[in-house]
Structures are given as C-alpha cells and as structure tokens.
Amino acid sequence: MIKNDLFLRALNGETIERPPVWMMRQAGRYLPEFRALRDKYDFFTRCRTPELAAEITVQPIRVVKPDAAILFSDILVVPQAMGIEVEMKPEIGPWLPNPVRSLADVEKVRVPDIQESLGYVMDAIKLTKQELNDEVPLIGFAGSPWTIFCYAVEGKGSKTFDTAKGFCFSQPEAAHVLLQKITDTTIAYLLEKVKTGCDAIQIFDSWGGMLSPDDYREFSWKYINQIVEALAPHTRVIVFGKGCWFALNEMAQSKASALGVDWTCSARNARYLSGGNITLQGNFDPARLLSPPATIKKMVHQMIDEFGKDRYIVNLGHGILPHIPVDHARAFIDAVKEYNS
C-alpha cells in the first residue's frame, strides 16, 4: 500500500483533506543534485541507465517532498525506439538529423518490440519503485503522438512547427500513417510501464496548442483518445495539452481521470469548459516561482480556493524552469501542504 495516496485519491475524484501537489519536470535542472549528475553524464546516458534515472526520479522526493514522483526519462525515447535518430545538442535541444518528410520515410519507421527497445525504462521503473518504498505513487509518461510527430518531421524544436503542420496538410495520408505508428508504439510502451509498476500515466501534448480546434481534433486528439481508451481499464490517465483550453470539453468526455491546464486558462474557465466533474491539474505560471516565497504561498492558496480542494491536483502550468531557487520550489510544495480550506 502506498503511504501517501492523496494523488491517486484525487485522480479517483474522492473528497480529500487537501489537494496533492507535484511539479512537471520536478526531477530536473533546478536541483543541484541533478546538475551534479548532468555534469558527469550526457542526457540520453542518464535516460538509458536505470540507476541514474531512478536516482534522478527520487531526488525531488527527498529535497522538496511532493506527493508523487514522475519517472525521469524523455518523450523522445519513443521515436528513438522506432528507428528515428534523436540527439540532444547543447544550446539547441532535440536534434533529429534525418527528419521524416515523405511517405517513403514514414514506411521506414517501425513499431518496435517494447522490451527489446525500451527495456531500460522498465528497469528504471523497478529500481525507482524500490527506492520510493511505497512512500508516494510513481507517474509514467509519454508525449502525445502529435507532439512526437512534430519533432520527427520538423527535426528540431520550433516556435510554430510549420514544417510538421505543412506535412499534415500537404500529405495527410502519410501523416496519419505516421501518427498511427506513434500511437501504436505509445500504447504498447505505456501498458508495459503500468505492468512494471507505474501508478498513473500522463500524456504530454506540448505542441497541441499549435493547431486550430478542427486540426487538433484530426491530428492530435483522435490519437490521444486511442491511448486513453487503451489505458483506462488498467490505470489512471492524465492528459495535459498545453494551449488546448479549446478542447477541454471534448477531453472531459473521454475516459481520462484528469486534465492538465496551463497558466493561460483561469480556474473558472477550466472548470466551466470541462463540465465541472473531472479532476483538473495545474496551473501555476512556472515563472511565478521567481516571486518571493511569501508571495508564492499566498498565490498558491488563492489558486486552490479558485479551483476548489477536491478533484484538483496542484501543479505548474508547464515544466519548472531551470533557474528556479530550490527554496522557491519548496515554498510551492509547502504552501499546498499548509492549506486549510
């Protein structure tokens, strides 16, 4: 039995004494302990070495003490497993030297055997579960098919992903074949994560907000929903679409247990658009963690008041920034633990 199960109870929609709290990218660069390992090992070595991934996952549990751990990994291990080369370049970020730009390229992309290509992730889950010792739940995650598609086609990060969108609009059949391959791989990958020990799953649709509502339905939500449908009988699923407030109503009608909200959508609008019956997660502006700790605590309490303490998971509206002082991250977590309705 997990000792602190607030996070899981919130996903179940139960009435609880206070909302749970964790932070996207909480196992990351704001922690000196993380930076020490980063200086010794390159990015994908950290992802592929179970002992390192487990250590990085539990670092924030020891230091800032959130109510859930999220496995240290990266969304781009999925395209790597599918035979798409991905590098992590300093000062640039993800770099794919051979982007997918044609039907012939799509046909070369494989749907892999998960244990064979991503077994190191499962080994990291097993080690992490041992380290956590049932203190808090463990979240597994994957990028949405659309977000993975963006990197696979664009070849790198982008402010607009025009090349990826152009591929969808000029070669829709090839685009849908690639999106389906990514979806099939992601379903198999996440089911294996659940089987290995993850207590919940989050799907990150980081670039969903780049699409119009109609295009979002066709090129993103359709595939996310396939993943939700496949996973819902086995675990709780959180869907986080950055900039996707327009889809909250449709998302809320799915089998997802919770919906993530970014900081551009108010609590009131999020509750209204989602119908008021599903657990919501979010949505503190990550840059607001640069405010003084006293201000952070006041704003967090106000945010909980606006969302309501039930069917709510406190989080940031996107990942924590690398230059946030640890004391400020701790103030964010502590503010939730100190909350009295």
Residues with Cβ within 8 Å of 36's Cβ and at least 6 positions away in sequence, in order, are none
Locate 27 and state its tokens. 């196992």
Q: Which residues are catalytic?
A: 25, 29, 38, 74, 151
Distances (CA, A) of 249 to 2, 207, 246: 32, 18, 7
Is position 306 within any domain?
yes
- Residue ranges for the binding site? 25-29, 44, 74, 151, 206, 318
Is position 142 within any domain?
yes
User: Residue 90: what pLDDT?
Assistant: 84
Sequential pLDDT tens for the chain (341 residues): 999 999 999 999 999 999 999 999 999 999 999 999 999 999 999 999 999 999 999 999 999 999 999 999 999 999 999 999 999 988 889 999 999 999 999 999 999 999 999 999 999 999 999 999 999 999 999 999 999 999 999 999 999 999 999 999 999 999 999 999 999 999 999 999 999 999 999 999 999 999 999 999 999 999 999 999 999 999 999 999 999 999 999 999 999 999 999 999 999 999 999 999 999 999 999 999 999 999 999 999 999 999 999 999 999 999 999 999 999 999 999 999 999 86
User: Residue 4: what pLDDT?
Assistant: 98
CA–CA gap between residue 268 and residue 274 (Å, rounded): 10
Is position 322 within any domain?
yes
Q: Which residue range(s) make up the domain with 82?
A: 6-337
Is position 178 within any domain?
yes
- Residue ranges for the binding site for substrate? 25-29, 44, 74, 151, 206, 318
User: Residue 91: what pLDDT?
Assistant: 84
CA–CA gap between residue 212 and residue 217 (Å, rounded): 9
CA–CA gap between residue 16 and residue 248 (Å, rounded): 24
Give the residue from 251, 315, 310, 320 showing the smallest Cα distance to 282. 315
What is the b/e burial string over 227-248, where b = at least 16 CB atoms within 10 angstroms of the residue's CB? bbebbeeebbbbbbbbbbbbbb
User: Residue 178: what pLDDT?
Assistant: 98
Is position 327 within any domain?
yes
CA–CA gap between residue 137 and residue 121 (Å, rounded): 17
CA–CA gap between residue 80 and residue 57 (Å, rounded): 21
Is position 17 within any domain?
yes
Q: What is the H or E stretch that residue 204 is in?
A: strand 200-205
Number of structural domains in the chain? 1
Is position 130 within any domain?
yes
Is position 299 within any domain?
yes
In CATH, what number is assigned to the domain containing residue 47? 3.20.20.210
